[in-house]
Amino acid sequence: MKNKISLGVNIDHAATLRQVRGGLTDYPNLSDLVKKVKAGGGEQITIHLREDRRHIQDHDVVTLCKKSALPINLEMSVSEEMLQIALKNKPAWVCFVPEKREELTTEGGLNIIKVYTEIEAMTQTLKSKKIKVSFFIEPNLALVNAAAQAKADAIEFHTGHWVLAEGTKKEKYWKQLVAAASYAHELGLRVHAGHGLDFKHAKKIRKLPHLVEVNIGHALICYALELGLEKAIKKMRDHLK
């Protein structure tokens, strides 16, 4: 039987709208949005606390980790500052992601081999505090193996390249996703996926072997402008069934 795919909703870009005015407004209220996410069938809230604080702010992390009606998945860079914030606020999950100050959004997966010593130690520290850990990576077998060696609970595959590709390139990326997901499952890792997923690709990603979770943000916030957030999430849930 095919795994049920849970939907994590990334609300970073709701915070972006608030920060466009320099954080001088209290809307959109992220805590209110969490309620709409839950009503629509979302099962997790994903937020990325960036070094430059371009959208999610420190007070958002504090408030959401304390009061959210849904588990919090905190995306963060491999840094001591972020580790201490996670340990203090205790989200349900931490997802280690790459981060470059100049990028518009996360442009690819984290090279965990390059930061293996740091990420292994941080993973052990987080897990000792009952915080589950995932790594946001490209569908690469060597990276999957490194994630297992570092004792991650899950890997989240970067789907952005697959979403944007066409023709034979799209088929190539899909085969890489399938192979990496199968290998991750063999090694005992949960399989998550995210980045660039819209309604059309949600229908397709559900066919990925062993997939148990997707995290979707930008598309849902955009769809919400027309449909409302709750209806957009319900529609996304339907596509994932």
pTM given for the model:
0.95
Neighbours of 123 (CB within 10 A): 24
For 147-178, write each residue's pLDDT tens digit. Answer: 999 999 999 999 999 999 999 999 999 999 99
Residue 1 lies inside a defined structural domain of this protein: no
Residue 143 lies inside a defined structural domain of this protein: yes
CATH number of the domain to which 228 belongs: 3.20.20.70
Residue 52 lies inside a defined structural domain of this protein: yes
The C-alpha atoms of residue 28 and residue 138 are separated, in whole angstroms, by: 32
pLDDT of 101 above 60: no
Residue 162 lies inside a defined structural domain of this protein: yes
Q: Which of 13, 161, 195, 239 is catalytic?
A: 195
Q: Which of 13, 75, 201, 230 is catalytic?
A: 75
Q: Is 75 a catalytic residue?
A: yes
Cis amide bond preceding 28, omega within 30:
yes
Q: With bands split at pLDDT 50, 70 and 90, how would you rate the model's confidence at 14? A: very high
Q: What is the number of structural domains in the chain?
A: 1
Q: Which of 13, 48, 55, 158 is catalytic?
A: 48
Question: What is the extent of the structural domain holding 107?
Answer: 6-240
